[in-house]
Structure 1
Amino acid sequence: MPPFLAFEDKDPGLSSRVPLVLVHGHPFDRTMWQPQLTEFAAGRRVIAPDLRGYGASPVTPGTVPLSRHARDIADLLDHLGVDTFALAGLSMGGQIVMECHDLLGDRIRGLVLADTFPAAETPEGRRGRAAMAERLLAEGMRGYADEVLEKMVAPYADPEVKAHVHRMMTATSPEGAAAALRGRAERPDYRDLLTRVTVPALVVVGADDTYTPVSDAEAMHAALPDSTLHVIEGAAHLPNLERPEEFNRALAAFLARLDGRP
């Protein structure tokens, strides 16, 4: 049976290095990870799915909780025969990574949490996500994309990066984005889960991120038993695209540590 999700699988063949699984944020697709797919696919298996409702993956209208995204990733990795891996996610993708922690158990060799936060949604936040879901269904993605572009990436970001981010947002299905927003509003609180993570973790954040500020990253770093915090200057919510060289250096050092673990 073919996998539900569209995905990119950079498989170099036999390799002792830990495979890397990349989970994109909202409202993007797997091309968000292009600098990392390019950098790490030489000698390491790198897998980047389009989440349900995004990119080339099918849309499920209504509500898609983070637990459904996590099960989709588990099903994809089972289909691909990937037993153990490092799991990296940004923003909503980071929350999906946290959701995957208990589901995938000791198959996870390390976690990367980029520009994300673990708290449950507030009542105000739930109302806001519900209203945004309705707006996207009524108006489409372009107005929203225009409004938030310079919060997703810094106003001073490279114009090509801005254009890429805007293209991803406007190409996203409004139905898929709305379903994910509704599901994300229902997410649990992951703060206690972080204290139970036994594998190494890397926490990354753009210094100028206003969606998930440095203080959120510092709190996650403090909660995780074994973590490294890397703040990337000159970036907002998408440092992997805004400052890919620095993001990749931090990720490479983390993966090298995982490769050396039994």
Structure 2
Amino acid sequence: MPPFLAYEDKGPGTPATYGRVPLVLVHGHPFDRTMWHPQLTEFSAGRRVIAPDLRGYGASPVTPGTVPLSRHAEDIAELLDHLGVDGFVLAGLSMGGQIAMECCARFGDRVRGLVLADTFPDPETPEGRVGRTAMADRLLAEGMRGYADEVLEKMVAPYADPDVRAHVHRMMTATPPEGAAAALRGRAERPDYRALLTRVRVPALVVVGADDTYTPVSDAEAMHAALPDSSLHVVEGAAHLPNLERPEEFNRALAGFLARLDG
């Protein structure tokens, strides 16, 4: 039976990859797996790299209504089962980071290393729940373009490369409104992951753009303090998507982390 999610599975199946832990990349909202293009290109030369489109995004099917983070985590587990991947490094950005935390809660024994980029572990506030629900209704009524125009300069810094800005805007406007709305409703119900972070026993890397206003450096510092074995990397000259805005620096930090985990 084919997997539910669309995905990229790249990397040479040669002895050169032996001892190198597979890397799984989980995108944020409202993006798709092309968000990880610089990392897929860089790291698939020497290891297996898997990047799914989450349910409701990219080329994956849409489930209307509400899709909780737990459903996204189950989708990832089912995909990795289908691909025969047992242990892996799990990297998630923004909502993808919260999904990665949910994965740790559900099948943390399979996670060999954790990368949390531009995300935070706190539960939704009552005000945030109202706001996300209202935004879900708006996206269903109006589509994605107005929202994409409004938030573009928070997703990437105003000084970001024009090609990066265009790519980010293109991902947002291509996202099905029904998929984005369902994920927003599910994210509004998310649990508190702060205690979970204190129980993560594998190495972790926390990355954040210095100019991120959605998840500021203080959020990253709090996660770094909570995780028992973590390093923190602040990417200067980037906002919410440092993997796209400053890919060389992001990749250097990730490469150093992966080298520590490889056989």
- With normalisation by structure 1, the TM-score equals 0.99
What's the CA shift string for 1:199-251, capped at 9, x where partnerless?
Answer: 00000000000000000000000000000000000000000000000000000
1:1-262 matches, cutoff 5 A: 1-14=1-14, 15-16=17-18, 17-260=20-263
Shift of 1:2: 0.2
Shift of 1:134: 0.2
SS at match of 1:59: coil
Identity of aligned residues (%): 88
What's the CA shift string for 1:14-62, capped at 9, x where partnerless?
Answer: 4220000000000000000000000000110000000000000000000
Instruction: Please identify runs of 4+ aligned residues in structure 1 that moved more than 3 A.
Output: none
What's the CA shift string for 1:114-153, capped at 9, x where partnerless?
Answer: 0000000000000000000000000000000000000000
What's the CA shift string for 1:53-98, capped at 9, x where partnerless?
Answer: 0000000000000000000000000000001000000000000000
Shift of 1:102: 2.3
Distance in 1 between the 2:252 and 2:216 partners?
A: 21
Shift of 1:104: 1.6
- With normalisation by structure 2, the TM-score equals 0.98
Residue identity matched to 2:25? L
Distance in 2 between the 1:11 and 1:73 partners?
A: 19
Distance in 1 between the 2:224 and 2:108 partners?
A: 20
Unpaired stretches in structure 2, ≥5 consecutive residues: none
Distance in 2 between the 1:205 and 1:43 partners?
A: 25
Residue identity matched to 2:260? R
Residue identity matched to 1:180? A
Question: In the comparison of the two structures, how many residue pairs are matched?
Answer: 260
Aligned CA-pair RMSD: 0.5
